[in-house]
């Protein structure tokens, strides 16, 4: 209880006491759900929060190092659960090198005796290199520096390859980002699109030079500009193929590996695209 009081004083909250008016006449649902319902799970909406904080600002630290910072228009504190529920939020996630990933969303939730942070509703994540993802939900686990979006949630990502090279977009179900290793895992229903620089629109004299890859799973090694595509063993063998679509050629294979960095001279061509096992290449050029 003493710990909670210390945090509350530091945050300068506005207590909601039963003796106050009109606060005492408010129903719990009116107070917590006044902005169109609650997206965050596990919020005790059947009672009035113990405290309400306007212009909420909280920093989570460990061993004197900042892990994340949460800024919100308003936050509700529940003493019994040691729970904070915030609305209209911006979270700043700090990596070991001091770089900041910025996450915005409609709501956030965390427990005062833990350090994990959950963000709900229209979640937009902007990484230090400018890459952006959009999803309905995100969880950050600072103990292992991991961003986790379970496979039940759709994810859309977009950005550019290093040095302003090719444009990258992907869709998947779920995302796991190990920040320490700079490794992204797209666990399900992956569609990865690579568009050469300055080719956002099809050229006048030919098809756009876009490469589209569809697979069950993709692991992106960001430090190496390398994407590895594979299929799940549970997928029927006749459909267990990574599929690649290009302007003049369609291909399929059991696995594929794409280096999406710019070419040796900074040109538009892929550095390489490798196909492995049971490879089929279909040329779309008519002679």
What CA–CA distance (Å, rounded) separates 256 from 275?
Answer: 4
What CA–CA distance (Å, rounded) separates 165 from 267?
Answer: 9
**pLDDT on residue 96:** 81
Query: With pLDDT > 90 as the criterion, what percentage of the chain qualifies?
Result: 58
What CA–CA distance (Å, rounded) separates 118 from 89?
Answer: 11
- Given a cut of 90, is residue 187 above it in pLDDT? yes
Point out which residues pair with 123 in neighbouring strands. 135
Query: Distances from the Cα of 91 to the Cαs of 125, 137, 199, in angstroms?
Result: 9, 13, 34
**Model confidence over 198-238: pLDDT tens digits?**
655 555 555 557 999 999 999 999 888 899 999 999 999 99
Q: How far apart are the first and last CA of the chain?
A: 79
**pLDDT on residue 2:** 32
pTM: 0.80
Point out which residues pair with 253 in neighbouring strands. 242
User: 146-287 has which CATH code?
Assistant: 2.60.450
What CA–CA distance (Å, rounded) separates 87 from 101?
Answer: 19
Structural domain boundaries in the chain: 1-143, 146-287
**pLDDT on residue 65:** 82
- Given a cut of 90, is residue 248 above it in pLDDT? no
Residue owning tokens 């994407």? 227
**pLDDT on residue 3:** 31
Phi, psi of 34 (to 5 degrees): -65, -15
- Given a cut of 80, is residue 7 above it in pLDDT? no
**Model confidence over 130-159: pLDDT tens digits?**
889 999 999 999 999 999 999 999 999 998
Q: What is the three-class DSSP state of 2?
A: helix
Best CA proximity match to 184, nearest among 173, 175, 193: 175
Point out which residues pair with 94 in neighbouring strands. 100
What CA–CA distance (Å, rounded) separates 74 from 71?
Answer: 9
Best CA proximity match to 108, nearest among 62, 70, 151, 77: 70
Q: Which CATH class is domain 1-143?
A: mainly beta
What does pLDDT average to over the chain?
82
Which pLDDT band, with edges at 50, 70 and 90, does 160 fall under? confident
**Which helix (H) or strand (E) element contains residue 171?**
strand 167-178
**Model confidence over 55-98: pLDDT tens digits?**
999 999 887 788 999 999 999 999 999 999 999 999 999 988 88
Alpha helices per DSSP H over the chain: 2-11, 28-32
Structure tokens at 271: 């550095």
Structure tokens at 17: 């006491």
Which pLDDT band, with edges at 50, 70 and 90, does 33 fall under? very low
Which are the contacts of 205, defined by CB distance < 8 A and separation ≥ 6?
Answer: none
Q: b vs e for 57-86, b when ≥16 Cβ sit within 10 Å of the residue's Cβ?
A: ebebeeeeeebbbbbbebbbbbeeeebbbb
Q: Tell me, what DSSP letter sits at residue 262?
A: P
């Amino acid at each position: 209880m003493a710990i909670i009081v210390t945090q509350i004083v530091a945050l300068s909250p506005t207590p909601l006491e039963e003796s106050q008016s009109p606060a005492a006449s408010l129903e719990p649902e009116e107070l917590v759900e006044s902005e169109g319902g609650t997206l965050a799970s596990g919020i005790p909406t059947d009672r009035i929060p113990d405290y309400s904080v306007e212009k909420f600002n909280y920093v989570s630290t460990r061993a004197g190092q900042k892990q994340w910072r949460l800024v919100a228009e308003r936050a509700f504190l529940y003493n019994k659960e040691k729970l904070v529920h915030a609305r209209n939020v911006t979270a700043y996630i700090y990596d070991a090198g001091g770089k900041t990933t910025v996450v915005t969303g409609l709501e956030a939730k965390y427990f005062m005796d833990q350090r994990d942070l959950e963000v709900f509703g229209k979640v937009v994540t902007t990484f230090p290199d400018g890459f952006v993802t959009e999803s309905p939900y995100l969880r950050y686990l600072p103990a292992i520096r991991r961003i986790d979006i379970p496979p039940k949630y759709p994810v859309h990502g977009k950005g550019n390859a290093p040095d302003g090279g090719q444009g990258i977009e992907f869709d998947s179900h779920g995302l796991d980002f190990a920040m320490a290793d700079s490794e992204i895992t797209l666990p399900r229903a992956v569609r990865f699109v690579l568009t050469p620089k300055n080719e956002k629109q099809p050229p006048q004299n030919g098809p756009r030079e876009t490469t589209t890859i569809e697979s069950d799973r993709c692991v992106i090694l960001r430090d190496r500009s390398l994407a590895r595509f594979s299929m799940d063993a549970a997928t029927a063998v006749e459909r267990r193929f990574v599929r690649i679509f290009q302007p003049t050629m369609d291909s399929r294979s059991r696995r594929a590996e794409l280096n999406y960095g710019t070419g040796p001279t900074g040109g538009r061509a892929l550095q390489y695209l490798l196909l492995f096992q049971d490879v089929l290449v279909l040329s779309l050029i008519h002679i």
